[in-house]
Amino acid sequence: MPQQQAKKPRIELGEGDNESLAPSETENRIESDVVLYSTGKDETLRPKTPEGPVFLEQSVETPGKYYFPSIRKQDTQNARMFLKFHGLRQFLDTYLPEELNSLYVYYLICLLGFEIKDKEMMDVISEHMIPRDASQGGVPQFKQQATSPQRPGFQDPLEKKQAVRLIKDLQKAINKVLATRLRLANFFTLDHFVDKLQSANKILVLTGAGVSTSLGIPDFRSSQGLYSRIKHLGLDDPQDVFNYDIFMQDPSVFYNIAHLVLPPENIYSPLHSFIKLLQDKGKLLRNYTQNIDNLESYAGINPEKLVQCHGSFATASCVTCHWQLPGEKIFEYIRNMELPLCPYCYQKRREYFRMEGDPDNPIGDDVTLNYIPGTVLKSYGVLKPDITFFGEALPSKFHRTIREDIDKCDLLICIGTSLKVAPVSEIVNMVPAHIPQVLINRDPVKHANFDLNLLGLCDDVAALVSQKCNWDIPLQSGDNLRDKKIDFIERETGYYDVIADAGLQKNAELNGANTVDETGNGNSDR
């Protein structure tokens, strides 16, 4: 039986799956637009307070049906801002009337930018909806509580179990909004970034594989990356080549592909030069790198300014006795796809692994004279680069510094990373939400809300930024980043395509591009 009108739902925040909810088209659009929000609660950014609770007008011609206005992007933006700015209790008190039915709960879910995926539920709700678009005056209506009473004896159009389901879905929508960083209102252009670079002095830089690809070092997850190139190995998951347990059982799995990720020595990219310049200007708080190539040290980043979150090839250690040596000492073994062995564990290893017909070559293959499976790991006495495998703890330096740095930083720049691997990927959520966040990457990162997205090759973006800042960044080759021709196109608010090809200049201008000439001066048609 239909239920009587209910009071405002009491919602407690907590974990919950999001299987019944999906981002609406409104939410997807919002990700590409500026949201007026500041966790600092700047009064100039305070969201608008509606005149009263949401009011859904009942149809006179069709009893039991309600007019559902279309929801504009700015309505969802303001509702989300209001929730994050004022908190859950005031949000519900402001947006919901004292007397309501379950359709109000559904409308609030939509207002926050979500939609119900359950087709059966939507069929029931649709029976009681009369959509209105903006041309029919279909914008959300907010009326004073005293002017929006329901008809006496009106009953909820949904069954109790459906109403309860909607309340749970509203809770999930609220949890997601509260857990999501909203983009800043006053930081979304290239000029904003340049101004902040000039004034900031505690910049947190988070780097990934994209900063090294220009040197021929493959990334991991792209269509041409390492994981795509090693599918032929037949592993259940390509990431298993970096699985610590698998390495301990059979280190040859890693050493069969290690030469593909072995870094070049004593070279670094233009992007590394850009980070070094931030250090030289006293602006770099810390560079947290997910890369294992150790190129930051070649570029001159000071050890105290560098956190190699996943370790590096700089050193190697014996997995048995933990003797450590410089990483380059095992590079020749890696290039030859051989197991590097610890000299202190070598003799003992020979007792376990002795190749038939070649007793002096204890490489640890399956065919051995003395090896009994299960008695000792095949990694006994093997030297392993000090890179952090899946299943290993991150270096203690990461945990020691990140807690202090997230509170100190005044700008976060993420470069060349898809932010797929935790806990490093969580840094963007750890930094206070009022700190500007910039992404420099070939592709957008859809699961994070960066204030500014500079999309292109990392070295090209570094050249663009150096020109706009009027900074000289000498390269290892002897060239200067300021001498590189760069075009950039503002795709939409907060998103720029960066193009390093003077031949594209004309097309870029025809498409509304901003062109930076070799002197660094911008010719803008904005």
Task: Check which CATH number belongs to the domain holding 196 and give it.
Answer: 3.40.50.1220
What is the residue range of 118's domain?
36-131+157-180
- List Cβ neighbours of 489 (8 Å cut-off, separation of 6 or more): 496, 497, 499, 508, 511, 512, 513, 514
Give the residue ranges of the annotated binding site for Zn(2+).
Answer: 318, 321, 342, 345
- Whether 194 is covered by a domain: the verdict is yes
Q: Both 170 and 87 in a single domain?
A: yes
Q: Both 200 and 172 in a single domain?
A: no
Active site residues: 310
From first to last of its 526 residues, what are the pLDDT tens digits of the chain? 444 455 555 555 444 455 566 666 555 444 433 333 344 444 445 788 888 888 888 888 887 888 888 888 788 888 988 998 889 999 999 999 888 889 999 999 999 988 888 888 999 999 888 886 544 444 455 554 444 444 444 578 888 899 999 999 999 999 988 887 888 888 999 999 999 999 999 999 999 988 988 888 776 666 566 666 666 666 667 777 888 998 999 898 889 888 888 878 888 999 999 999 999 999 999 999 999 889 999 999 999 999 999 999 999 999 999 999 999 999 999 999 999 999 999 988 888 876 544 445 444 444 444 555 556 788 999 999 999 998 888 888 999 999 999 999 999 999 999 888 888 888 998 898 889 999 999 999 988 889 999 999 999 999 999 999 999 887 777 666 667 788 899 988 899 999 876 444 444 444 444 433 333 333 333 3
pLDDT score, position 362 = 44
Give the residue ranges of the annotated binding site.
Answer: 318, 321, 342, 345
Element (H, E) at 25: helix 25-30
Q: Both 50 and 172 in a single domain?
A: yes
Q: Both 198 and 124 in a single domain?
A: no
Look up residue 75 and give its two tokens: 């309505």
Total domain count for the chain?
Answer: 2
How far is 182 from 189, CA to CA, in rounded Å?
A: 16
- Whether 483 is covered by a domain: the verdict is yes
CATH number, domain with residue 78: 1.20.120.1710
How far is 416 from 219, CA to CA, in rounded Å?
A: 9
Which DSSP category does 151 fall into? P
- Whether 253 is covered by a domain: the verdict is no
- Whether 209 is covered by a domain: the verdict is yes
Contact at 8 Å (CB) between 115 and 22?
yes
Task: Quote the Cα angle for 195-197-198, to 5°.
Answer: 65
Strand order in the sheet with 383-387: 324-326, 311-318, 383-387
